[in-house]
Chains A and B, each alone.
Chain A
Amino acid sequence: MQKSTNLSEYRKSCQEALGDDFLREAMDKFATAYRANRVNAFADMHEKELIAEIAESKDAAIARLPELFEQFRAKAEAAGVKVHLARTAGEANEIIARIARDNGVKKIVKSKSMTAEETLLNHALEDEFEVVETDLGEWIIQLRHEGPSHMVMPAIHLSRHQVRDLFSEVTGQQQESDIQKLVKVARRELRRHYAEADMGISGANFAIAETGSIGLVTNEGNARLVTTLPRVHVALCGLDKLTPSIHDALRVLKALPRNATGQALTSYVTWITGANECATAEGGRKEMHVVFLDNGRSAMAEDPDFAQVLRCVRCGACANVCPVYRLVGGHKMGHIYIGAIGLILTYFFHGRDKARNLVQNCINCGACKEVCAAGIDLPRLIKEIHSRILDEDGHPTYSDLLGKLMKNRKLFHTLLRTAKLGQAPLKDGEGFLRHLPLMFFKEHNYRALPTIAEKPFRDMWKEIEPKLTGTKLRVGLFAGCVQDFVYPEQMAAAVKVMDHGKAHMDFPMEQSCCGLPLQMMGETAHAAEVAAQNVAALDPARYDYIVTLCASCASQLKHSYPRLLADDPAMSLKAKQFADKVIDFSSFVRDVLGIGADDFQNVAVTTKTAYHAPCHLCRGLGVVGTSQELISDSGLDYVKADEEDVCCGFGGTFSMKFPEESKELLNKKLDNVAKTGAKQLLTDCPGCVMQLRGGARRRGDDLQVRHIAEALAERLK
């Protein structure tokens, strides 16, 4: 559970997690194993189609929650079930406590329920009743008085030795660290609790309206005992779990276990309709209750932007692939709900005080969106919440100032030119700053920072603009701040390559920053103004393509602009046309200009070259493999590094806010590259170049880091 009151406290607590060697090793193993298991699990499925179907059917259900609730209630009540609707977490807990009191309950056994975690149900019941969690992981964290650190594996942060010590204490007997034995001890210890309990509490993965049934997905089988032995059964269930039909549930079941743990199906799926047979209950029938929890869900269902959050099936995959979760674990990467979805749900279920710091700890790499079982646009919604929190709290002076500065292009560019003069005493002669300017923490020193170029690209353009010869396509160049002012040589190289492909290039001077840094800081309104300036500067009607060498810019131009400008009647259509024409450099060169092996010198070079796939290219734009093919075509010896498509840790402003995390991600990346023996590392994003080159420099790695355009330009015939 996240309790930090400000960002610096939060950052400190994340640092502590970074220092937990067991956690780090466990998370690394998990992250790599999960990726492989997931691929196998979906091997003979149409994964993307299935996810799209789930998204569609969930959206349809979310649009008619009240109707589904009534349908469920009528069916369930006819089958002898009492159905309740709790507006808030406190109300749900009170309803459940009352049911327990009315039935003279002393002991309660529970099977796993994230909804019960959300309402802090145990805390509410424990003074009055004996409550025992029966899911192994939940039992462990209950005994330790902790919250879950993963939605599916709540005790993933603990080692067998910690469990041994805990069980030794609980049983009063010295236990061994053998996991198989520890599991059997739990089996025996928990068995008597089922036998003694008067009430069982479960969650529900599905509340099926057409039959009035609940569906429970478990591996251990504890839910079957919890719902069978005690004479009272209460299922606590978020309204979002209302599912029109069995068919809809079966569809979700095709993805949920595969995405959660790489299993084709969990060991048990339990379907309960009505008050079932129960020998110890009055009349031989179970007293059964279903408590639906609203807690803000109805309002979310009506929000055009956030209704999709209710699609979540709680598989936990967004945490499993999150590079930040992998570093700091679930207690830092969530309040009660964990991972990307956790950052969002925390804001809605537990308030902005709990969410304020969390939402900033997203590096925006898009790994979660790529695997979400319900196709939720998680990274965008996280940014959106950050922006809302700033609107509610008031924007911090620095981010508002930066927003104001960036939308004034002339002022911004003048400032960059002035900074160039100011940095003179700090330059080391090789394009790096010798030491960090004052605004940085010492923790930022894990990578060397580049100097601002002598001459920005915009000042070079007139000299290098190619003379038009047999041109075929009109291309607008979008440079972005980093390539314009820090790495203009990357742009110059790209111009050379595209000129070879006979593109007719234009570089409008009125263009400015793409605005992504503003969005990352939650400055949505400023980002929209910058977007409008760029759309006006690169009028889409003038070009066949708008090419950028920066994957992050490309993703921002293509995906955010139409949304940012949707409500601007003067710009919305242009913004869409603009977005349609945006393309990344590698795709443009290879797929549009058709540049291939024939265009490069036919002398193969032996430089071992690795590639880093930028998040915003491979996931943001869905461009996979194109750059690697270009590298091979150009005659370079391409070697694939492990986790080639995992984030380098840059994340723009993320690396400023969380330098310790950024450093760890960077080191992992460079370690993986070092393992290949590559002497050159290419990528498609100047931000990644800045991070990787600066990191390699600090580590003293024998590695040249460049933009792919630079390597290709050199190899042209």
Chain B
Amino acid sequence: MSSVDTLVTEFTQRAEKVGAVVSMVKSMSEAFAYTVDLCERKDACQLLLSGCGLPLSDAAGEMCEARTQPKVVAAPALAGEEREALAAACEAKGMTLISDGMRKHLAGIDIGFTVAEYGIAETGTIVQNSNSEELRLATMVSENHVAVLPVSRIRATSYDVEREFVNMVDASPSYMAFITGPSRTADIERVLALGVHGPLELHILLLEGE
């Protein structure tokens, strides 16, 4: 196995171990197709956003009602042709693609779509530039976070990404994130529960080539 293959294998194993779903894609358009397909499938038997079907206080319940239909995909960082391609794919399935205005969607959206900066194989982590507030919110209030990670950006350990990372952090202001699997808690009886405040699922699409 080449060193790239080794990194991909380790990254995949580690990420899957913490509940991420990892797939290979050959192009961005394949990533878009994956995203739209996921969005279409996910609600088949779950019409309400996570928690909305449960007995809530009146105030929290109102927020659920504020949720807009149809399904929403947010991709704040996409621009130009790529954005148009995803928008078209969403539209074909009756979904809305948004790039901003996330504060109007705090009750939740279906999918947040991002491209990660780096991957760390040792822990199955993605390094996500989150300078944009829209992106930060899209990756938190979405039920599923879909992140594209170019294979060429996977490094073995956190130390191997340190030089680049220090530069990213040192540019002020900046807001960076290591994301390893979906949001989780074990605060009640140490029982694992996914999707506490952030996504219930994290999908990582490894993009082949450069």
Contact = CB atoms under 8 A, between A and B. Distances in A.
Interface of A: 26, 29-30, 33, 78-80, 134-137, 140, 153-156, 158-160, 163, 170-175, 179-192, 194-195, 208, 210-213, 219-222, 224-225, 228-229, 245-247, 250, 253-254, 261, 263-280, 285
Contacts of A273: 169-175
Contacts, number: 226
Contact of B189 (A179, A186, A208): A179
13 contacts: A175-B55, A179-B193, A185-B54, A186-B196, A190-B197, A213-B174, A220-B196, A246-B165, A250-B162, A264-B18, A265-B178, A271-B176, A277-B175
A192 B60 contact: yes
B198 A224 contact: yes
Given A173-B57, A179-B189, A269-B178, A220 B169 contact: no
B37 to A, nearest CB: 25
B179 interface: yes
Interface string B37-53: 00000000000001110
B155 interface: no
Contact of B55 (A33, A173, A250): A173
Instruction: Tell me whether chain A's interface is mostly helix, strand or loop, or mixed.
Output: mixed
A6 to B, nearest CB: 34
> What 6 pairs across the A-B complex have the smallest Cβ distances?
A274-B173, A173-B55, A221-B198, A79-B172, A188-B51, A274-B172
Interface string B47-88: 000111011111110111000000000000000000000000
Most chain B CB within 10 A, of A163, A188, A222, is at: A188
Contacts of A274: 172-174
Interface in B173-204: 173-191, 193, 195-198
Most chain B CB within 10 A, of A29, A184, A229, is at: A184
Most chain B CB within 10 A, of A220, A222, A278, is at: A220
B136 A266 contact: no
Given A183-B196, A267-B179, A189 B56 contact: yes
A213 B169 contact: yes
Contacts of B133: 228, 276-279
B124 A264 contact: yes
B196 A224 contact: no
B187 A264 contact: no
B54 A140 contact: no
A506 B165 CA distance: 64
Given A247-B159, A263-B18, A278-B133, A153 B190 contact: yes
A136 B140 contact: no
B206 interface: no
Given A185-B54, A194-B106, A268-B177, A220 B183 contact: yes
B137 A228 contact: yes
Contacts of B56: 171, 173, 185, 188-189
A247 B163 CA distance: 9
B64 A188 contact: yes
Interface in B148-175: 158-159, 162, 165-166, 169-175
Given A33-B190, A212-B172, A220 B184 contact: yes
Contacts of B106: 191-192, 194-195, 229
Contacts of B132: 277
B93 interface: no
B175 A156 contact: no
B209 to A, nearest CB: 27
Most chain B CB within 10 A, of A33, A155, A175, A189, is at: A189
Contacts of B177: 224, 268-271
A160 B54 contact: no
